Structures are given as structure tokens and as C-alpha cells.
Amino acid sequence: MEVKSVTNNLIKYVASLSRKKQREEENCFVVEGTKCVRDTWEYFNCRMIIATRTWYEQNGHSGHLNKITFANSQQMQRMSQLSTASDVIAVYDIPERKIDENIVKTSLNVVLDNIQDPGNLGTILRICDWFGIHNVFCSKNTVDVYNHKVIQATMGAISRVNVTYCDLEQLFTEYPDMPVYGTFLDGKNIYKTDLKNVGFLIFGNEGRGISPKLAKYVDSRLLIPSFPAGEATSESLNVGMAAAITISEFRRQQITKK
């Protein structure tokens, strides 16, 4: 294997990928940390792996390692988007996402309306991965899925969940026969509502919820009730928590109906 060492130009290049504009221009993104790299390198086309020699000695068993470039800890810190740099960074091509309409029409799909917090988006993708949801449709003003904080929060789920940014109103008009669910504070108790295992499930912005332009497409407004009823409680749930509870109830009903 040819041994390559990192250059100043490469350090600047990898560091520049922290910016969305640069990622889009270069059509690539960065993943950091042993677990995240291991969880993703079989799913994306790998341009390069930059790592310390210590990391290579402990993890040098993948076919991707012919693309490795060595760096020391100080150089890794200059490239890292984390507060504490890891020992490995991978640069992947951004894949071309293709939507399988048959899967959309026969599955539960998640729709995200203007989610702004990278941790929330990453958490929701991880939840979708756990519960077997393959398609997530995001409004164009939702945080970039290739933001490094999103990547870290997905814990590898980005490899298996298809994320598409699109005009959500157009999405609903393209699938007029699909039921649309949304979470609202004035909705019907989710535990007393018959939920289908096919459709779109919308989660809205952290502060404003589902926007009015999308709310008009919702067929079933759902509420996660607080317990016990009538007692003072938090104003609302974090959108990641709400997603976990809601998707779990969809899957629970799907299992019990079989």
C-alpha cells in the first residue's frame, strides 16, 4: 500500500466541507469517528480516509484502507468539525437519491417541515432506521442532512434512510390517495385513533409546529396526551421525542393487527 501523508491543501479542503455551499459544490461530505465511519463506509462511495497511524494499526482491515492518508493528532484537529478531534475522518460522495414510488405507496413515510436543529434531524433519522421507515421527505428549509452534527446524531442511520428534500405540497399532490397524519396539540388521542401502516406522517418546526400550508393536507390530527389528564405539565414535547412516541404507536398497532 502506498503511504501518503496529509498536505496543507488537503487539510484546508477537508475543513472547508464544514460549509454547506462547499459540500454542494464538491458533492461530498465528511464523517468522523470510528463507529460512524465503520457504520457508513459500506454504503457510500469513499473518496478518502484520513487517520492517525495508531488508528490504522488498530483498524486496518478494510478494503477502503487503500485510500488512506496519514495525519497526526494536531492535523486531525485542524480538519475536524468536532470539539475533540477523532482519529479518523472519511470523505464520501453525496449519493444520488432515487425514490421508489412503490415503496412510498406501500409504506409509512416521515415528512419533516422546517426542522432546524441538527440533533433533532439526526435523532429522527435514527428513530426511522430503528422502526423500518425507509423514506424521509424534508422541506427545503430543513437543516442539511450532511451537516456534521446531523451525521453524528444519526449514529449510522444516514446509511439506510433515504432523505429527500423537495416541495412538500407537491409531494402530497403527487400521492393524493395517501393518508396524511400530523401531530397537533388539539388533535385526537393517538392511543384511541386507528392508525394505518401506509401514509405520510408530518413533524413540524421545533417552535411553530406544522406550517398552515401543510396542515391543510392533514387528514388525521394526532395528539400525544399528557398523563394524568388535566394536570400541569410541560408546554410540549421535543420533536425527536414526539417522533419516537408517534412512530412507535404506529408500529405497535401494525403488529397487533396482524
Q: Give the closest residue to 239 by CA, choosing from 212, 186, 213, 201.
A: 201
Instruction: Please tell me the CATH code under which domain 8-93 is placed.
Output: 3.30.1330.30
Where, residue-wise, is CATH 3.40.1280.10 in the chain?
101-256
Strand order in the sheet with 46-51: 28-32, 88-93, 46-51, 68-70
Q: Which fold has domain 101-256?
A: Alpha/beta knot (3.40.1280)
Residues of the chain with CATH 3.30.1330.30: 8-93
Residues 215-247 have pLDDT tens digits of 999 999 999 998 877 776 777 789 999 999 999
Q: Which residues are paired to 32 by β-bridges?
A: 89
The answer, yes or no, to whether residue 2 has pLDDT greater than 70, is no
**125-173, pLDDT tens digit by residue?**
999 999 999 999 999 999 999 999 999 999 999 999 999 999 999 999 9
pTM listed for this prediction: 0.91
| CA atoms of 18 and 15, how far apart (whole Å) | 6
